[in-house]
């Protein structure tokens, strides 16, 4: 939790230092905002781990409450944000952190090119009961790093924007299994490369209701496609505060995570 707090504070400081758009006549229509949203909600996490003979697996599925913080800076050309959250479940502690940036370098009528980067980090520590005879439990440490650079084209129509994109997705999975008091350990290290295809979607209604979503598929030869979707709904009650709801689903080769959170929004 200390590491998550430190990362969020650093991004908060960097976001505040980003230059605000100029107030000249030709930039009068530009706007920028910095958003802070502490959130709380519910998560469901499922992890597969090796058990017994090669190829045999067991599944640990848990759910419970979680808390976190969402930070974002946005103007007409740039969007930078992060979401970090932590949950302490019956048998596991789960920490997840996501950072994203999208940049729109030029405008060609209703079209704009887009370059982006998303980074995900998931850390799961689990203690799995095995029975009444030694070993009594098995500990699992599962960490996932994911990096996704993307390129796409933004198309805008009134209050709606769609940004279809393609990208490269690199996922690094490390799993460490061991039993307390037992010398044997089992480790798995994998680096997986995917092609990603998806879209960002944005919608604004009457300046107070906003939707920002992203979905994409990850594909590699010989495996089923993996799916991720992220949804954020903002209800702005004034220029300075409102409410936020997030519903995310993330799928990878050994771990699946779903959460729904809500909280107040402060706008600067």
Please tell me whether residue 182 adopts helix, strand or coil conformation: coil
Helix (H) or strand (E) run with residue 10 in it? helix 2-17
Q: Which residue has the higher pLDDT, 57 or 105?
A: 105
Q: Domain ranges in the chain?
A: 2-32+72-227
* Sign of torsion over alpha carbons 54, 174, 183, 45: negative
**DSSP summary character for residue 17:** H
Q: Which residue has the higher pLDDT, 23 or 102?
A: 102
| CB 234, CB 242: distance < 8 Å | yes
Encoding tokens for residue 87? Answer: 């949950």
Q: Which pLDDT score is estimated for 54?
A: 63
**DSSP summary character for residue 27:** G
Rounded distance, CA 164 to CA 213, Å?
12
Encoding tokens for residue 128? Answer: 């799995």
| Residue with tokens 């699946």, as numbered in its chain | 256
**Domain 2-32+72-227 CATH assignment equals 3.90.930:** no
Q: What percent of the chain has pLDDT over 70?
A: 81
Rounded distance, CA 246 to CA 76, Å?
23
Rounded distance, CA 233 to CA 41, Å?
14
* Sign of torsion over alpha carbons 259, 198, 170, 98: negative
> 10 Å Cβ neighbour count for 39?
22
Encoding tokens for residue 179? Answer: 């039993």
Query: Which of 199, 195, 172, 175 is closest to 186 using CA atoms?
Result: 175
Please tell me whether residue 179 adopts helix, strand or coil conformation: coil
- Cα→Cα distances 123→53, 70, 90, 173, Å: 26, 18, 16, 10
Classify residue 5 as left (phi > 0), alpha (psi -120 to 50) or beta: alpha
Tens of pLDDT, residues 145-196: 999 999 999 999 999 999 999 999 999 989 888 877 666 777 889 999 999 9
Rounded distance, CA 152 to CA 167, Å?
9
Rounded distance, CA 260 to CA 189, Å?
30
Q: Which pLDDT score is estimated for 53?
A: 60
Backbone angles phi and psi of 28, in degrees to 5: -60, -30
Q: What is the pTM of this model?
A: 0.81
Mean pLDDT of the 10-15 span:
40
Tens of pLDDT, residues 118-136: 999 999 898 877 665 555 6
């Amino acid at each position: 939790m200390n590491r998550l707090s430190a990362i969020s504070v650093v991004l908060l400081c960097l976001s505040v230092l980003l230059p605000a758009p100029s107030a000249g006549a030709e930039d009068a229509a530009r706007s920028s905002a910095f958003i802070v949203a502490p959130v709380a909600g519910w998560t469901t996490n499922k992890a597969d781990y090796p058990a017994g003979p090669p190829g045999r697996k067991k599944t640990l599925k848990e759910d419970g409450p979680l808390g976190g913080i969402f930070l974002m800076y946005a103007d007409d050309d740039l969007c930078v944000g992060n979401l970090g959250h932590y949950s302490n479940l019956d048998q596991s502690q789960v920490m997840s952190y996501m950072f994203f940036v999208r940049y729109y370098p030029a405008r060609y009528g209703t079209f704009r090119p887009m370059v982006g980067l998303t980074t995900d980090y998931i850390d799961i520590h689990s203690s799995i009961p095995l029975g009444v005879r030694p070993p009594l439990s098995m500990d699992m440490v599962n960490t996932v790093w994911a990096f996704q650079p993307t390129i796409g084209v933004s198309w805008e129509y009134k209050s709606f924007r769609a940004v279809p994109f393609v990208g490269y997705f690199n996922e690094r999975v490390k799993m460490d299994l061991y039993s307390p008091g037992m010398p044997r350990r089992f480790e798995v290290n994998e680096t997986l490369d995917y092609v990603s295809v998806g879209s960002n979607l944005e919608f604004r209604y009457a300046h107070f209701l906003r939707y920002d979503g992203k979905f994409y598929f990850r594909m590699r030869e010989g495996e089923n496609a993996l799916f991720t979707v992220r949804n954020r709904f903002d209800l702005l009650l004034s220029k300075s505060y409102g409410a936020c709801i997030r519903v995310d689903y993330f799928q990878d080769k050994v771990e699946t995570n779903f959460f729904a959170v809500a909280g107040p929004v402060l706008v600067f």
